[in-house]
Homo-oligomer: A and B are copies of this chain.
């Protein structure tokens, strides 16, 4: 229903908002990285959003079942064998310079030396799968060789450039699920449902998130089935998460076919099959931001048509839950009240925006549209009235309704609101 022109506008609006409202750092190159689903330089709000998304992923994957354990593997490694076409290596300049500066070496010898040096250099991981596969055997003791179980990890991975010479970073989430061969297809379906439910839980328009089976042609060699979790961006569909049912090929390869070492108990004794679930959380951030941006037309007081932009991020994900501002009254005293309230909320781990520190005078309307674009859930205004009666004004991002509340109630109100939103 939307024309391509409007979509380009939409993308531009979103990226501009992300820069202006402290989600990502300024600069064309940085915005491009972000749009392409790569890790970029995040501002304070983007950083907090990423923290929240990763926290929710971790919680949903590790705390939902007893059989998921977290691991943490190295991002660079010397020993791993890999058949990736383009490998990223870490090279110490000083050492390669020493090779290049050697005198009386033939062309051929030089080439050989550089090649050998590269071969010996550690490489950077491109995904978290290898690490989990390596952790499989040591994990068997944990679970008494009983299937199914999973290993979860989040971390930075590096992707080779497509000829541009500039490799990219991606924040990956990975659950590697080991299960009995008979059940691997069912588990693939189970995790697809779980993951799609997770994405949709935090969405404003859940239908923009969908899953689709990988076609025969797209199947990777070791996999029997694959499912993509897709987001419908204004510029087209992109994959947020990949689920593969990979069989036991890679486990056997890595452990050199030592079947007995790999065997688990699942009624019979068998080498488990692997279901891998790999997400790109940088693109996930972009999807949640894109999904939550609403542009609403409305008339202002002078009957001019204005556009109101609101970032309706899910209460659990939104980086700033409440902004504290001061209205009319003695500035110094009001600031002190704000300072106290800020401390109280922070101790409750509710993230607060200290709007009261701002000394440039802005109209309440301008301030409100700034907070709406930041995705701030509630705005609290402390004024003369608060000093007299303890009453303050709370304005909701989502309803735009302003309520009056006693200052002693605000902490509980916010805690309850966020907790309720988390449990839906």
- Contact of A66 with B342 in the complex, beta carbons under 8 Å: yes
CB of A90 within 8 A of chain B? yes
| Stretch in contact with the other chain, from A46-54, A243-251, A256-264, A389-397 | A46-54
CB of A236 within 8 A of chain B? no
Nearest opposing residue in chain B for A51, CB measure:
B70
- Contact of B72 with A47 in the complex, beta carbons under 8 Å: yes
Please report the C-alpha to C-alpha distance between residue A296 and residue B121 in the assembled complex, in whole angstroms: 45
- Contact of A160 with B92 in the complex, beta carbons under 8 Å: yes
Copies in the complex: 2
- Contact of A93 with B118 in the complex, beta carbons under 8 Å: yes
Nearest CB of B to A244, in Å: 23
CB of A114 within 8 A of chain B? yes
- Contact of B138 with A118 in the complex, beta carbons under 8 Å: no
CB of A357 within 8 A of chain B? yes
- Contact of A48 with B74 in the complex, beta carbons under 8 Å: no
Give 28 CB contacts A-B under 8 Å. Answer: A25-B135, A26-B138, A41-B71, A41-B72, A41-B74, A41-B135, A43-B138, A44-B69, A44-B139, A46-B72, A50-B72, A51-B70, A63-B349, A67-B354, A75-B156, A76-B169, A87-B93, A87-B94, A88-B91, A89-B93, A90-B158, A90-B167, A92-B165, A93-B118, A105-B107, A122-B166, A143-B357, A144-B360
Contact of A71 among B43, B134, B146, B153 (CB under 8 A): B43
Q: Interface on chain A toward B: helix, strand, loop, or mixed SS? A: mixed
Chain A residues with a Cβ closer than 8 Å to the other chain, count: 83
Given contacts A115-B100, A124-B90, contact A42 B349 (CB under 8 A): no
Chain B residues in 8 Å Cβ range of A26: 138
